[in-house]
Amino acid sequence: METTSSITAGHAVLETVIGFMGIAWSEKGLIRLCLPERSREAVERRLLRHAGVSASTAQPPWVVELIASIKAYAAGEDVDFTGVPVDLDGIDDFRLAIYDAARKLGYGETTTYGELAKRAGHGGLPRETGAALGANPVPLVIPCHRILAAGGKIGGFSAPGGSNTKEKMLAMEGVRVGPPPPAQVSFGF
């Protein structure tokens, strides 16, 4: 039973090996996740720009666990974020379906915008799927970095650093995107 003094909402900026990241939560779950920036202040500004982000920094136990998981992910560990509660109040049914389908992708698993649209029951809408993922409030937990353009191309990414950040996150998960490595020189015998 929660008391009135229980923490219901807040935010945190965390330092990881890949930069400063931020999260914000409501009484229902995670509402924002900011991917790496160079400074704590930049992340704090980005978080507090959004309506509904509480100034509180007190952390309920699930947030303490999430922070540890984010730090582990940033350090290169295989982390499963599917159990993280997410508060997506106010998000339309199309985006909810896309986000739900994206959450089913495991560490190091990728798909295309077109295939994800199909999995979400909205086949034929790859551009709209890309737009929905570009508005994803909780990247990493909803792993939009795992969705590629047709032909295995990197595709867009709206986080700081753009496609370079997406490529780095995928590389951390063992996924190589882009042209194949140069062929090994053969010995000819």
Give tens-digit pLDDT for 37-90. Answer: 999 999 999 999 988 899 999 999 999 999 999 999 999 999 999 999 999 999
Judged against a pLDDT cut of 80, whether residue 4 lies above it is answered with: no
pLDDT value of position 167: 92
pLDDT value of position 2: 43
pLDDT value of position 182: 53
pLDDT value of position 1: 40
Q: What is the pLDDT of residues 93-146, one digit of tens each?
A: 999 999 999 999 999 999 999 999 999 999 999 999 999 999 999 999 999 999
Backbone angles phi, psi at 171, to 5 degrees: -60, -40
pLDDT value of position 39: 95
This prediction's pTM:
0.88
Kindly provide the residue ranges of all beta strands, DSSP E only, lying in the chain, ordered along the sequence: 10-16, 19-25, 30-37, 111-112, 147-148
Judged against a pLDDT cut of 50, whether residue 19 lies above it is answered with: yes
Higher pLDDT, 157 or 189: 157
Per the structure block, which two tokens stand in for 69? 């998981």
Per the structure block, which two tokens stand in for 117? 């649209």
Q: What is the pLDDT of residues 142-184, one digit of tens each?
A: 999 999 999 888 998 988 888 999 999 999 999 988 655 555 5
How is 152-182 classified by DSSP, letter by letter? G------STTHHHHHHHHHHHTT---SSPPP
The residues carrying an active-site annotation are 144
Judged against a pLDDT cut of 90, whether residue 28 lies above it is answered with: yes
